[in-house]
Each structure stands twice: as structure tokens, then as C-alpha cells.
Amino acid sequence: MSLRHVILTALAESPASGYDIAKSFEQTMRFYWSAKHQQVYRDIKALAVEGLVEAVHVAQTHRPDKVIYRLTDKGRSELRSWVATAVEPRINSEFLVKLLAASAFGTLVARDLLRQQRTIHAARLALYQDIEQNLRAHANTVAMPLAEHMRVATLRRGLRGEKDWIDWIDESLKLIADIDGTACQLAPLPQPA
Amino acid sequence: MSLRHVILTALAESPASGYDIAKSFEQTMRFYWSAKHQQVYRDIKALAVEGLVEAVHVAQTHRPDKVIYRLTDKGRSELRSWVATAVEPRINSEFLVKLLAASAFGTLVARDLLRQQRTIHAARLALYQDIEQNLRAHANTVAMPLAEHMRVATLRRGLRGEKDWIDWIDESLKLIADIDGTACQLAPLPQPA
DNA sequence: TATCTCATGTAAGTGGTTACATGATTGC
DNA sequence: GCAATCATGTAACCACTTACATGAGATA
């Protein structure tokens, strides 16, 4: 039931086609959701059948025709009641599992994995900082509607998260270095060939 | 392919039954993974068929019989190659979507949602801090094997994450308060009944 | 007597990914 | 001429959840 509500949320802001929504998963929504176009088309049809959105077919001359969807009152009230309660966030972290698995193969394996992960988070952080720069340039903080403020807040959430991961990785790398430092002194010297 | 690797990771530490593994999702693994026993039993059988784990049937007198699984060499090398590469973490956050949806219904709705979420994270933080206390009491930092150190690191990751969420929520609540403050001054006074 | 833990499962359903497909138009 | 963008889908599959089921022994 999740993507359904993501779609409703997108349509709450303004009517859009399946294509538009699918695309926004690579742009404005990328900080908090991703989905494939196939899934979007499938689910938005289901929403139409249930009467939560309604479709308007728009014929175009120099492009394929498209179907614009907008929230119905039913859709809006569904969204309203969905929004009322927070839920326990999932914590399934493939990375943390990998780290523990890596530990079974020694400090070097764990260290490499942490370093790789660091580059991933560093890249994301750089991207988010870039976007923040652009926002700052164009934002007129005073008269911004709430939704805009919250959109910026989601970006801030992303920034914070990435920074925090990087800090934790550095902390963990240092821990491993300490272990390795003492371990190396005890390790057998390499055998001459 | 994820839970399969989580199971292999669990078995890399020591052989266990499906029941043991299922239970550890509520205990040692709870910081980074959760899964239902049905899924565990299903997947561990698949792993056995593929030869990544092997089963030993253990008859018990005063308890139901059980099946203990252990990693095979094939399983261990599968785990080793899985561990080699980091992956882009998923960011699908139901909460952030809800926050944006909530914003469409006004500051009060958004504020309530943020507050609810804060309680959830505060509760988790408290739990993690508790566990950290226990660990500190029993840990002998010197001679701990790498896997133990990394297990503590995953807890630290949880602690950090919860703290960071709480800070961000407070920041966002303050932002909303500011908006609301100015908005209230501009808002029409309540009509006398 | 009732509930909890041990130990294992089947069946149905939901949510998401991957592979494959079509066909026109715009820009290099 | 070739890739990218616009616009929409089908089919198969993988991952996970929910509901339901069994049956013995331990604990209150």
C-alpha cells in the first residue's frame, strides 16, 4: 500500500501523468522514494478503478497522447487519514549485514567494505550539497508555502543522514585500524618464498 | 537474494536451527534486519537444496526435534564473494512521504506527525542506550574478536541514526513553529459564534 | 486451566524488480 | 544516422507479509 500513497501524495500537489510521476522519482522525490515506471502505471490504474484518482485523456499532436490523473475527493480523504499516524520505520540494512559477514573474513575485508560504502555516501552528500546550493539561490524564504519548506526539510534529512553515515564509517575505520595495529604486531611475519 | 545472505551471515558465526535464526531477528540482529519465521524456514530449505548449508536432524526427548544447519564451503565462498562489493542503500522512507502529504493539510497535521515520529525514535534511542549500558558492563574491550567489535559498531550506528533523526525532527518542528508564528499573526481571527 | 516457549510449516496475497516491447519526435 | 526523450504497457519473477495450523512441554 505504499507506492499507492506516494502517488496520491504526488497528485495532491498537482495533477500529472504516470510518466511525470515516474520521472519525479529520479528528481524531486529521489530523497525519499524510488520506483519503476511499470509499477507506477500498474498502481495508478488500480487507484483509478478504486476512484481515488480520475483520468483525463489528453490528445497531443507532436507527442504520444497521455493520461493526466488528478485526486478525487475520495482520494484526498484517503490521503488525509493515511497521514494521521506515524509508523515504525524499517531498519533492514543490507550494508550492516554485509559488514558483519565481512568481519568473519578479517579486518582487511571489513575495512575495504567500509571504504567502498564511504565513497557511496560521500557521492550522495556531494549531490545533495549541490542541490542545496541551487535551492538557496532560488528560494525566497519568506513567502514559501509549507509544502516547499517541507521539501527542503526532506533534503536536509538526506544531508544529515549522509553526513552521519560518513562520520560513523570514519569512527569504525579508526576502530579497525586500532585492532589491526595491535593484531599486526602479533601476526606471523610473511614466509620467505 | 537478501535474506538468504543474512541467514548465511548468521550461520557463519555458528550453526543454528531455523527457529534460532528467526528468534535472533528479535534480539541480536534487530538493529539491522527483521524477518518472519515463515520466510526463514522457506529460504533456509532453498539454501540446503543449493548446497550452501547442510542440515543435521537432532532428535530431542522433551522438546520437538529440530534441524541444525551449518555453512558448507560452498556457502562460505558464496558469502565471501557477496561481501566484496557495497551497494547503494535504498532510501524509500514512508515517513518523509507522509510528511509531504501532511503538509498539504496544514501545519498542524505536519506538526502532529513529526511529534509522533519523535516519540518512536526517542523510544528506540532509549532502548539502544540501555543495550549499550549492558554491553559496556560486560565487554572486555581488549581481547574482543573483530565480529564482536563490529556488532557493537552496528549498535553505535543505530544510536547515531536515532539521535540524528530526533535532531532533525526538532529542527523541522522549530521551522514549522516559525512559519506558524508568522502565519498566525496574519490569519483571520476566529469568528464569534 | 491457560498461556508461553519450542519447533515447524502451508497458502494466499502484496509490493517491487527485471526483461521485453512499441513507436513517434527532437537534438547532435 | 543515432541516441535521447516522450509515453505506455505485458509477463515473469523475487522478496516479504499475513493468516492459519499443529502439537508437545513448561510455567503461572
Q: What's the pLDDT tens digit per position in A106-150?
A: 999 999 999 999 999 999 999 999 999 988 887 767 678 999 999
Q: Out of A36-50, A62-76, A169-183, B38-52, which region has the weakest mean confidence (pLDDT)? A: A169-183
| pLDDT per position as a tens digit, A12-24 | 999 999 999 999 9
**Which chain A positions have a beta carbon within 8 Å of B175's beta carbon?**
149, 153
Mean pLDDT (whole number) for A47-62 = 93
SS3 state of residue B58: strand
Q: What is the dihedral of CA A121, B156, B151, B25, to 10 degrees?
A: -90
Determine whether the interchain pair A91/B34 forms a contact, defined as Cβ–Cβ distance below 8 Å: yes
Contacts of A172 in chain B (CB under 8 A): 150, 153, 156
Tell me the C-alpha to C-alpha distance, in Å, between residue B146 and each of A176, B30, B151: 8, 19, 9
Q: Give residue A46's identity as a one-letter amino acid code.
A: A
Question: B42 CA, D21 C1': separation in Å?
Answer: 16
Any idea what DSSP says for residue A90?
Answer: P
Indicate yes or no: strand D within 7 A of the C-beta of B65. no
Q: Is the CB of B35 under 7 A from strand C?
A: no
Is residue B6 within 8 Å of residue A70, measured between CB atoms?
no
pLDDT at residue number A61: 82
- Nucleotide nearest A4, CA–C1', reads C15
* CA pseudo-torsion sign A42, A43, A49, A54: negative
Cβ of A100 and B150 within 8 Å? yes
> How many whole angstroms separate alpha carbon B18 and alpha carbon B157?
27
Nearest CA in chain B to A114: B86
Residue contact A86–B105, C-beta within 8 A: no
Which three cell numbers, joined as nine digits, stand for B156?
553505535
Q: Which residue of A has its CA nearest to B123?
A: A88
Chain D, protein-covered positions (CB within 7 A): 6-11, 14-20, 23-26
Can you give the pTM of this predicted structure?
0.90
Residues of A within 8 A of B103 (CB-CB) are 146-147, 149-150
Mark the nucleotides of strand C covered by protein, meaning any atom under 7 Å from a CB: 6-11, 14-20, 23-26
For the cut 60, the answer to whether the pLDDT of residue A51 exceeds it is yes
Sheet holding B16-17, edge to edge: B16-17, B66-71, B53-58
Size of interface A-B (CB pairs under 8 A): 203
The predicted-structure confidence for B124-183, as pLDDT tens digits, reads as follows: 999 999 999 988 887 767 678 999 999 999 999 999 999 999 999 999 999 999 988 766
Give every strand in the sheet of A16-17, ordered side by side: A16-17, A66-71, A53-58
- Note the pLDDT of residue B62: 83
